[in-house]
Amino acid sequence: MEAVAVIGAGLAGSEAALQIAGAGFDVILHEMRPVVQTAAHQTAHCAELVCSNSLGSALPDRAGGVLQAELRVLGCQLLPLAEKNSVPAGAALAVDRLLFGQAVTAAIEAHPRIELRRGELAAIPDGNCIVASGPLTSAALAMAIQRLTGTDHLAFFDAIAPVVVADSLDLEVIFAGARWGTGEPDYLNIPLTKAEYDTFVDGLLRADKHEMKDFEAADPRAKQFFERCLPVEVLAARGRESLRFGPLRPVGLDDPRSGRWPWAVLQLRRENALGTLYNLVGFQTNLKYGPQQELLRSLPGMQNAEFVRLGSMHRNTFLNSPQVLYSTLEFRRRPGLFFAGQITGMEGYLGNIGSGLLAGLNMVQRLLGKEPATPPRETLLGALTQHVAESPSPNFQPMKAEFGLLPPLVPPVKKALRRQAYAARSAAEMAGFRHNLGLDTASPALPEDHANHL
Ligand SMILES: Cc1cc2nc3c(=O)[nH]c(=O)nc-3n(C[C@H](O)[C@H](O)[C@H](O)COP(=O)(O)OP(=O)(O)OC[C@H]3O[C@@H](n4cnc5c(N)ncnc54)[C@H](O)[C@@H]3O)c2cc1C
């Protein structure tokens, strides 16, 4: 059987390669570094962490800890290496990034079924392949992906608006309704008086903002993108009324309490099919996270808002996954071609390792002549992959694993106990998924000396 091609030895590609090789199949892992560098990586190591060295909370009732537990159940290969090379970081799993990168590289180089081939791949090979080339996919490969998906289905920057948990909103103040009262009242509307609007605009102009990184500013596509997708603070700086005539337009929105249009309205739109999350429409922003949360919580009805994502704008190559991927991470139009990692629209180091794990397991399913599978929606990995492949948002943007993506607990559980209940449900569901994939009975995949090396 021909070797599986994996493009990109980052977090997702390294995990996928180890999974496939571990199941007894040959892999050629293509990594362009150090022959061609990205603007963010510093080394030639596989699975280099480019910024923070934290893989998130390790507490068993936090999203990070629950996702870690799920990945362990599925036999994740990178997680034990992260634990072996961890540094003290309180309740978080943080690693010495050099030692972690070296350990992953060593595991890959030592594996008898993996060939690590250094050099840029400019085309997607025929045959079984996983594309895991990350947020800084090389230009030539990005063009090849666009040829496959259509130019509309690959973005080079994200423009993320904050996403909030529905049941943290005060619906005594925020009202449901459609503009001009036409159609279903699908939107939630935050009404602002003139005084509230003025205070909000002042806060927006005063708040600390993230500066664009040098490599982002130097990108010839950046200017065009930022002009098309203006952050709200830039719009506000163009004139006090700009937001009121732009994303905070109140026309046609009667506040049921007054029967009149408010001075301005910030609209919220469903982010997921379950209706557990809402995004702030047109509210892409580069405000720093602390001031951003503070400002948004100062809005009427938002005082207890829980955010699963805050606004940001970055250089980021990602697919319009709901149009092109199944939740198994397989490309809809070509069986045997999978995408994994940040290019699928997932965020977070751990989620990206998880996507590599899932793509790897599903590639193995294909190689065994079986159908790829999706983890249950009640697990964070399943909820994230299903969100990525099925998000109803017309403007799909990346997302990380958060409890807000999970379906509500049945019967309902008190807020104080909800996180533990999510964790327990996920553990039971993931154990079932592992069993269904046949992983309970899988024979040890690594030769003895290699297992010792890990
Ligand atoms: C500047 C920056 C800061 C970030 N900070 C954080 C953070 O603090 N926390 C966080 O969770 N996430 C952060 N991210 C996102 C982070 O990149 C992902 O979470 C994670 O690294 C994605 O894993 P991946 O495997 O998809 O991509 P990567 O880890 O980037 O791996 C992709 C690999 O593909 C290779 N490649 C690309 N094109 C080709 C080609 N044509 N041929 C062969 N190889 C190729 C690249 O060299 C790279 O090694 C940041 C991203 C950037 C750009």
Note whether 118 and 288 are within 8 A (CB). Answer: no
Q: What is the mean pLDDT of residues 172-182?
A: 91
Q: Which of 324, 366, 370, 329 is nearest to 346 (CA)?
A: 329
Residue 145, ligand 1, Cβ within 6 A? no
Q: Which of 29, 30, 32, 68 for a ligand 1 pocket mutation test, highest count of atoms within 8 Å of Cβ?
A: 32
Fold classified for 4-160+314-453: FAD/NAD(P)-binding domain (3.50.50)
What is the residue with the minimal CA distance to atom 18 of ligand 1?
349
Amino acid identity, residue 146? Q
**Does ligand 1 come within 6 angstroms of the Cβ of 416?**
no
- Which pair of tokens denotes residue 237? 């700086």
Q: Does domain 165-310 have CATH number 2.40.30?
A: yes
Helix (H) or strand (E) holding 423: helix 415-436
Q: Are 406 and 377 in contact (CB under 8 A)?
A: yes
Count of residues in the chain: 454
Closest ligand 1 atom to 138 CA:
38
Residue in 432, 379, 351 with CA at minimum distance from that of residue 70: 379
What's CA 234's distance to the chain center, in Å? 26
Asked if pLDDT for residue 161 goes beyond 90, the answer is yes
Domain boundaries, the chain: 4-160+314-453, 165-310
Q: Is the pTM of this model over 0.75?
A: yes
Residue 447 has pLDDT above 50, yes or no: no
13 pocket-lining for ligand 1 (C-beta < 6 Å): yes
Which tens digits make up the pLDDT trace of 280-318? 999 999 999 999 999 999 999 999 999 999 999 989 999
- Count of beta carbons in the 10 Å neighbourhood of residue 398: 23
Give the pLDDT score at 450.
Answer: 39
**pLDDT tens for each residue of 341-390:** 999 999 999 999 999 999 999 999 999 999 999 999 999 999 999 999 99
Confidence of residue 452 (pLDDT cuts 50, 70, 90): very low
Ligand 1 pocket residue status of 274, Cβ below 6 Å: no
Say if residues 242 and 200 touch (Cβ distance below 8 Å): no
Choosing from 35, 76, 133 the residue with most ligand 1 atoms within 8 A of its CB, the one to mutate for a pocket test is: 133
Residue of 236, 240, 247, 255 whose CA lies nearest to 193? 255
Contacts of 243 (CB under 8 A, 6+ apart): 197, 201, 232, 235, 236, 264
131-170: b (≥16 Cβ within 10 Å) or e: bbbbbbbbeebbebbeebbeeebbbbbbbbbbbbbbebbe
Using the predicted structure, report yes or no on whether residue 441 has a pLDDT greater than 80.
Answer: no
Q: Is the pLDDT of residue 255 over 50?
A: yes
Q: Which atom of ligand 1 is nearest to the CA of 134?
A: 27
Give the pLDDT score at 65. Answer: 97
| Cβ–Cβ < 8 Å for 65, 58 | yes
